[in-house]
């Protein structure tokens, strides 16, 4: 059995330390008020039993809380007072050097909390350690100097989560929808070097990857680019190839008919497309940005985004090659093809590709095969999105279809009616609804489970009262995020604000106009709707009463954002938080505050956003149909998924799910498994088991290998694919997932 020290280091549980601590406090009180040795042993045994039953490594603070309460239960109030006083004095001493200790454990790679905080960061690498070290300093400065005390306290207690506090000290924001078209067509500047319009497709792809790396190093969230913005360079390549071939045949004094010429041109064009797509694939996977990880980048594939039929046909060639290369995978260190985490792919289901016999249905079939093997692409329904995302004066069915900024963060529709009047000074502005070049300011998440538990079972009046208080707390926290960006000059991140990724402002110009009027969004996240409803009603979201209450809660969140937006002209929006490490943090905080409540706090994780609980038996179509109702009320971002077995031999079933997505839900994905054991060559599902200490570990079912450095595991974590393993809470959630097909 393990414990987690305050520094984050994990150690074996030692019952002797419990006895010693209680004994020391006991020795300072009068004999008549002291505990007996039998009582001290009983307290230690009780604490041991609680720790063992929790099915996770408890923190020192949690253990001390249990000790304190148990001493009180023995009516040894003087001993409890001494124990509490000792804890307080020690906390004052620690307050001066907590950051130092955490940084030291980072350097020595024995901080278990941070090691498993991000499923796409390897904490043994210097650049990752450097980023984490800077993050610890930033969190320390933010919590002591920059943020109000009550917001920091609520964050630490898991009442809310102030996302990415490790970047808050800097004037940085969350997610971007990169205006790649402007940068490629009109030029950009990277590290002081002018980059002009490329003259070939492969060069355009190379520049795109450089832009991706630069953007990732100047913000802390996800970013998205569209393959449509690369499509015009296929025709440029085609014309260059035709000219080159003509010169070659002229030089050789040879004749060639037009049909043969066309075949040779297209062959070389396809080879160029393959090189360009490979550049994106390998560059993104191998790039290491300043925060020590590959860029969290999404690649968008939307045929109807093309400006004409020729561009659409060329875009189809790029999409085909992108899916083909992703299906193949990338080689790991031993030369075996595995599933890469990035880039994330999104494929739009639309009229031209959804029905058998439609012009681009072959791409949809390729996408289905790729999803079954490599977990991507994910799917956006053009049909449903155009019903929901309505810019000014647009009607349902005639709205906008566009990609998210990361794994799920969506911009609000363009409410200006004129593309914002080009306040970003983009060179490709055309007056139409604008999405590329916009961004998200940041996220604060409300823990809905804590609101429900604070009110208590059946106390709906109390719940709504506490909800109002917590929403106002979140509102103030979001205002802090907004104020931190106000006054930021374009010089802070030239690639973003001066050279086209988001804007083309002048040097020294403030970004403030881009923070208002809906050009950028700011997100009120939410987590644990499933457990919240169950605590209040004893009903599940899948039951009529639970669904009704769940939808009402979602509407209240939307109403709060609408009120704030009207008052401040800032686009607050509801966001289905992609909890990664925070799911474990929230669960631990809930257990500390409320104990173990069956069906509510009895897991080491809480449910993401509005999702049906991972252990709930439900078929894929019922799950998607139900969650579509909640996704509609999560306009700032949300994604639904279905968990499936190995579907590589049942592609028709995958296509059936994709068709259901097209007709019923805006954004969804299929989760499968894609693992490899480097010790024995096993290519299947690596299992999750408990070791001797009760800790969840990954083990090859064939050879028993438990060395994480000798296996490749890919799992959907929260929209993105994770490949560096997870904390105990998220690992338990992954283990508990049931199949929906």
Same domain, 306 and 438: yes
For range 543-565, the mean pLDDT: 98
Backbone angles phi, psi at 523, to 5 degrees: -115, 130
- Residue 726: band (very low, low, confident or very high) from pLDDT cuts 50, 70, 90: confident
Residue 550 lies in a domain: yes
Residue at a domain's end among 100, 134, 149? 149
Q: Is residue 514 part of a domain?
A: yes
Residues 110 and 202 in one domain: no
Mean pLDDT on 65-74: 88
Annotation says 407 is catalytic: yes
Tell whether 329 and 425 lie within a shared domain. yes
Among 112, 130, 149, the domain-final residue is 149
Tell me: do 211 and 132 sit in the same domain: no
Of 117, 305, 580, 669, the active-site residue reads: 580
Segments forming the whole domain that contains residue 228 = 176-674+714-736
For residues 472 and 596, state if they share a domain. yes
Write the pLDDT tens digit of every residue in 664-673: 999 999 999 8
Q: Which one of the listed residues 407, 474, 658, 677 is annotated catalytic?
A: 407
Give domain status of residue 688, yes or no: no
Reply yes or no on whether 636 is catalytic: no
The total of other beta-carbon atoms located within 10 Å of residue 289's CB is 18
User: What is the pTM (predicted TM-score) of this model?
Assistant: 0.87
Quick one: 138 and 254 in the same domain?
Answer: no
pLDDT at 268 over 90: yes
Number of folded domains that form the chain: 2
Contact by Cβ (8 Å): 656, 663: no
Give me the residues paired with residue 698 across strands.
688
440 and 293 co-located in one domain = yes
Query: Do residues 521 and 441 touch, judged by C-beta distance below 8 A?
Result: yes
575 belongs to the catalytic site? yes
Residue 402 lies in a domain: yes
Summary mean pLDDT of the chain: 91
Q: Tell me whether residue 409 is one of the annotated catalytic residues.
A: yes
Here the CATH number for the domain that contains residue 284 is 3.20.70.20
The yes-or-no answer on residue 520 being catalytic is no
pLDDT in tens, 396-448: 999 999 999 988 999 999 999 888 999 999 999 998 999 999 999 999 999 99
Answer yes or no: are the C-beta atoms of 295 and 289 closer than 8 Å. Answer: yes
Catalytic residue among 135, 276, 500, 719: 719
**Residue 194 falls within a domain, yes or no?**
yes
- Please check whether residues 323 and 435 belong to one and the same domain: yes
Question: Residue-wise over 662-687: b if at least 16 C-beta within 10 A, else e?
Answer: bebbbbbbbbbbbbbbbeeebeebbe
**Within a domain: 699:** no
Helix axes 620-631, 651-664, angle to 10 degrees: 30
Q: 24 and 114 share a domain?
A: yes
Residues 529 and 600 in one domain: yes
Lowest mean pLDDT segment, chosen from 20-24, 308-312, 488-492, 564-568 = 20-24
| Whether residue 385 lies in the annotated active site | no
Strand partners, 338: 330
pLDDT at 216: 92
Q: Burial level of 233, CB count in 10 A (0-12/13-18/19+)?
A: buried
Question: Is 156 a member of any domain?
Answer: no
CB atoms within 10 A of CB 349: 23
Alpha helix positions (H), 96-220: 98-107, 112-115, 126-141, 149-156, 180-186, 201-216
pLDDT digits 0-9 by tens, 445-459? 999 999 999 999 999
What pLDDT band is residue 29 in, cutting at 50, 70 and 90?
confident
Residue 160 lies in a domain: no
Nearest to 435 by CA among 290, 618, 302, 560: 302
- Is residue 440 part of the annotated active site? The answer reads yes
- Per-residue confidence band for 219, with pLDDT thresholds at 50, 70 and 90: very high
Residue 281 has pLDDT above 80, yes or no: yes
Candidate list 51, 405, 647, 718, residue with the active-site label: 405
- 352 and 249, same domain (yes or no): yes
The pLDDT, as a whole number, for residue 129 is 67
622 shares a domain with 498: yes
pLDDT of residue 32: 83
Residue tagged active-site, from 409, 428, 712, 727: 409
| Domain final residue, candidates 149, 168, 193 | 149
């Amino acid at each position: 059995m393990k414990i987690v020290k305050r520094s984050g280091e994990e150690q074996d549980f030692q019952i002797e330390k419990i006895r010693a601590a209680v004994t020391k406090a006991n020795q300072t009180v009068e004999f008549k008020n002291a505990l007996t040795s039998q009582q001290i042993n009983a307290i230690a045994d009780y604490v041991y039993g609680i720790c063992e039953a929790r099915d996770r490594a408890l923190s020192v603070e949690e253990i001390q809380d249990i000790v304190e309460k148990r001493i009180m239960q023995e009516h040894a109030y003087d001993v409890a007072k001494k124990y509490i006083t000792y804890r307080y004095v020690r906390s004052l001493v620690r307050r001066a050097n907590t950051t130092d200790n955490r940084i030291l454990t980072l350097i020595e790679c024995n901080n278990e909390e941070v090691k498993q905080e991000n499923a796409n960061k390897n904490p043994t690498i210097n650049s990752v350690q450097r980023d984490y070290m800077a993050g610890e300093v930033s969190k320390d400065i933010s919590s002591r100097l920059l943020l109000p005390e009550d917001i920091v306290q609520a964050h630490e207690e898991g009442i809310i989560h102030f996302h990415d506090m490790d970047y808050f000290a800097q004037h940085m924001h969350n997610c971007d929808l990169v205006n790649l078209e402007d940068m490629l067509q009109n030029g950009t500047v990277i590290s002081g070097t002018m980059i002009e319009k490329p003259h070939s497709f492969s060069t355009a792809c190379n520049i795109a990857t450089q832009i991706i790396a630069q953007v990732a190093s100047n913000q802390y969230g996800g970013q998205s680019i569209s393959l449509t913005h690369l499509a015009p360079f296929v025709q440029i390549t085609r014309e260059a190839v035709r000219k080159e071939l003509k010169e070659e045949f002229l030089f050789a004094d040879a004749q060639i008919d037009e049909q043969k010429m066309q075949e040779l041109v297209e062959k070389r064009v396809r080879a160029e497309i393959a090189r360009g797509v490979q550049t994106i694939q390998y560059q993104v996977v191998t790039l290491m940005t300043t925060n020590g990880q590959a860029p969290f980048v999404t690649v968008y594939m939307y045929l109807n985004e093309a400006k004409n039929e020729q561009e659409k046909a060329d875009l189809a060639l790029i999409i085909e090659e992108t899916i083909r290369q992703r299906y193949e995978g990338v080689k790991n260190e031993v030369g075996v093809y595995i599933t890469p985490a990035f880039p994330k792919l999104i494929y739009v289901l639309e009229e031209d590709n959804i029905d058998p016999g439609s012009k681009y249905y072959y791409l949809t079939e390729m996408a289905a095969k790729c999803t079954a093997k490599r977990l991507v692409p994910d799917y956006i329904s053009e049909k449903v999105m155009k019903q929901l995302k309505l810019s000014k004066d647009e009607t349902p069915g005639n709205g906008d279809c566009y990609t998210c900024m990361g794994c799920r963060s969506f911009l609000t529709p363009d409410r200006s009616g004129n593309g914002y009047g080009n306040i970003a000074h983009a060179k490709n502005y055309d007056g139409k609804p604008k999405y590329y070049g916009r961004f998200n300011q940041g996220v604060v998440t409300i823990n809905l489970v804590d609101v429900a538990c604070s009110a208590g079972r059946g106390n709906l009046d109390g719940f709504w009262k506490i909800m109002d208080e917590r929403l106002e707390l979140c509102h103030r926290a979001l205002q802090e995020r907004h104020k931190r960006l106000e006054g930021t000059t374009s010089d802070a991140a030239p690639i973003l604000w001066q050279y086209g990724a988001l804007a083309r402002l002048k040097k020294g110009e403030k970004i403030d106009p881009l923070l208002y009027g809906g050009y950028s969004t700011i997100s009120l996240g939410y987590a644990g709707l499933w457990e919240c409803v169950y605590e209040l009603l004893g009903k599940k979201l899948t039951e009529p009463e639970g669904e009704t209450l769940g939808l009402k809660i979602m509407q209240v969140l939307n109403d709060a954002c609408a009120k704030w937006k009207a008052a401040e002209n800032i686009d607050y929006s509801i966001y289905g938080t992609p909890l990664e490490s925070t799911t474990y943090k929230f669960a631990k905080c809930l257990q500390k505050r409320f104990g173990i409540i069956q069906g509510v706090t009895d897991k080491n994780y809480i449910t993401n956003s509005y999702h049906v609980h991972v252990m709930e038996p439900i078929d894929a179509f019922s799950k998607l149909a139900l969650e579509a109702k909640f996704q509609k009320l999560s306009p700032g971002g949300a994604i639904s998924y279905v968990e499936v077995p190995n579907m590589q031999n049942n592609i028709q079933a995958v296509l059936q799910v994709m068709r259901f997505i097209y007709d019923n839900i805006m954004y969804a994905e299929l989760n499968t498994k894609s693992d490899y054991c480097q010790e024995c060559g096993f290519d299947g599902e690596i299992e999750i088991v408990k070791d001797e200490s009760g800790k969840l570990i990954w083990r090859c079912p064939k050879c028993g290998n438990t060395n994480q450095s000798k296996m490749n595991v890919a799992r959907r974590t929260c929209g993105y694919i994770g490949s560096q393993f997870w904390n105990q809470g998220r690992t338990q959630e992954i283990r508990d997932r049931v199949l929906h097909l």
